[in-house]
């Protein structure tokens, strides 16, 4: 399949993708940002933080499974899939606002939101992989950085609304703002970004090369070919190594994000927690962007391994950092925020680069599916543990994920590239 290299893609492509991904992923942590207000208003237990977050992750898993097994991201226009998913996620967010007093209904709507996000995050990576076959690590660095900022944006929105006259109902403004932002992201991508050259073309039966493009036909590959491609997660050594590294990363990432307000609450309160959470989470965008730039020079595996190792050390250092001075506490969280997310695009780049070319979108989506299943188990375990034990006792155990991931990446570096 033909795809443009990074230096030939029009300059406007990456900024549009980044903006659309930022806006489209904003519903992810919308309820987490306003959880203190909802708990105060309705008396929800502390475990609601875990169950509502897990509902989004579970919906995302179901969505990625459906999208992957059906080859949705590869058989249909990725731009239209992104638009439809963004509009649906916006509607689910507005419905969650209307049902905010009913915890059961909110769980269902957050799961539906997660399902819609499966058509935004992995599909955005698929579009980037089509436009930037060369320099993919750098492009995905910016793209996942946008996802990080999008996920953090509800915290910033809550901080703004808490200081405004309308701050008496902060969760209402946050949910409406997130819904509008998400819908705008879908419209922007569908309206302003064309399909990349070669989108929808797959190899046909071998024919004589009589003219440029011979052997390509405008038809989707059969569903069975996507199922065979998904097996590469186990059968291909390079794909397996990058996927295992990603799983270790996912064990730590979302649990750290969910626990961050609790960590900040040991020193801050009120709107200050929201602003601090935004800046710490948002620091991950810096890690994604800089990591992508460095990856073009030293390789994605080395960048991912280095950041994963540093974030694991931040987990281990938690007992000391929690009792340290304010300056050390802030430095620890910023470094952790940068590295805990900064390796993510490089895992996607590695998997996309090594996956079968005709099913990159499906392989990435299925990998996300499994990774988010791991994140649910980690979130549920650690949040429930946090209700019974001090943070200094449990945070070091998050380093188990980075440890597995670093070992997997070490194996990847030892596997020779195919000729």
- Our separate counts of H helices and E strands in the chain read 21, 2
Tens of pLDDT along 136-176?
666 767 777 888 888 888 888 888 777 665 545 567 888 89
50-71: average pLDDT? 86
159, 280 Cβ separation under 8 angstroms? no
- Of the two residues 75 and 395, the one the predictor is more confident about is 395
Tell me which residue of 244, 191, 199, 197 sits closest to 371, measured CA to CA: 244
The confidence band for 225, taking pLDDT boundaries of 50, 70 and 90, is low
pLDDT at 70: 77
pLDDT at 306 over 50: yes
pLDDT at 5: 43
pLDDT at 178: 92
Tens of pLDDT along 80-96?
899 999 999 999 999 99
415, 237 Cβ separation under 8 angstroms? yes
pLDDT at 167: 47
Eight-state DSSP code of residue 167: G
Structure tokens at 344: 């993510």
pLDDT at 307 over 80: yes
Which stretch of 8-17, 224-233, 301-310, 317-326 has the lowest confidence by average pLDDT?
A: 224-233
> Does residue 8 sit in helix, strand or coil?
coil
402-415: average pLDDT? 81
Mean pLDDT of the chain: 81
213, 203 Cβ separation under 8 angstroms? no
CA torsion 374-378-384-385 (nearest 10°) is 150
Tens of pLDDT along 241-299?
788 889 999 999 999 999 999 999 999 887 788 889 999 998 998 898 888 888 888 88
Angle at 374 between CA 49 and CA 406, to 5 degrees: 120
Identify the CATH assignment for 13-195+230-414 out of 1.10.443.10, 1.10.10.10, 1.20.1250.20, 3.40.640.10: 1.20.1250.20
Q: Between β-strands 216-217 and 202-203, what pairing exists: parallel, antiparallel or unpaired?
A: antiparallel
The confidence band for 201, taking pLDDT boundaries of 50, 70 and 90, is very low
pLDDT at 89: 96
pLDDT at 309 over 60: yes
120-137: average pLDDT? 76
pLDDT at 313 over 90: yes
Q: What is this structure's pTM?
A: 0.76
Q: Where are the domains of the chain?
A: 13-195+230-414
pLDDT at 417 over 60: no
């Amino acid at each position: 399949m033909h795809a443009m290299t990074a230096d030939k893609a029009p300059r406007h492509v990456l900024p549009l993708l980044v903006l659309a991904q930022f806006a489209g992923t904003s519903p992810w942590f919308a309820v987490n940002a306003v959880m203190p207000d909802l708990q105060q208003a309705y008396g929800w237990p502390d475990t609601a933080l875990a169950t509502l977050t897990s509902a989004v992750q579970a919906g995302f898993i179901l969505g990625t499974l459906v999208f992957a097994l059906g080859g949705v991201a590869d058989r249909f226009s990725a731009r239209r899939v992104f638009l439809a998913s963004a509009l649906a996620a916006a509607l689910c967010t507005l419905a969650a606002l209307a049902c905010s007093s009913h915890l059961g209904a909110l769980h269902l709507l957050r799961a539906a939101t997660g399902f819609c996000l499966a058509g935004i995050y992995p599909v955005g990576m698929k579009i980037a992989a089509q436009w930037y076959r060369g320099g993919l690590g750098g492009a995905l660095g910016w793209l996942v950085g946008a996802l990080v900022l999008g996920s953090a944006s509800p915290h910033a929105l809550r901080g703004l609304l808490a200081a405004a006259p309308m701050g008496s109902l902060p969760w209402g403004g946050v949910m409406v703002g997130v819904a509008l932002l998400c819908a705008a992201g879908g419209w922007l991508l569908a309206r302003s970004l064309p399909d990349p050259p070669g989108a929808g073309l797959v190899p046909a039966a071998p024919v004589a090369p009589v003219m440029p493009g011979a052997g390509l036909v405008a038809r989707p590959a059969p569903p069975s070919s996507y199922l065979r491609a998904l097996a590469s997660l186990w059968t291909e050594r390079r794909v397996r190594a990058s996927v295992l590294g990603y799983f270790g990363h996912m064990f730590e990432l979302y649990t750290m994000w969910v626990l961050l307000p609790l960590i900040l609450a040991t020193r801050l309160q009120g709107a200050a927690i929201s602003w601090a959470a935004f800046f710490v989470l948002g620091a991950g965008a810096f890690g994604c962007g800089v990591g992508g730039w460095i990856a073009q020079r030293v390789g994605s595996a080395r960048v991912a391994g280095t950041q994963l190792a540093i974030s694991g050390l931040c987990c281990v250092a938690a007992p000391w950092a929690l009792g340290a001075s304010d300056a050390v506490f802030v430095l620890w969280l910023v470094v952790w925020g940068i590295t805990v997310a900064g390796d993510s695009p490089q895992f996607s780049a590695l998997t996309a680069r090594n996956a079968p070319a005709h099913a990159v979108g499906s392989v990435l989506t299925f990998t996300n599916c499994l990774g988010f299943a791991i994140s649910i188990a980690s979130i549920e375990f650690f949040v429930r543990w946090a209700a019974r034990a001090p943070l200094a006792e449990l945070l070091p155990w998050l380093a188990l994920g980075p440890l597995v991931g670093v070992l997997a990446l070490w194996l990847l570096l030892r596997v020779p590239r195919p000729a």
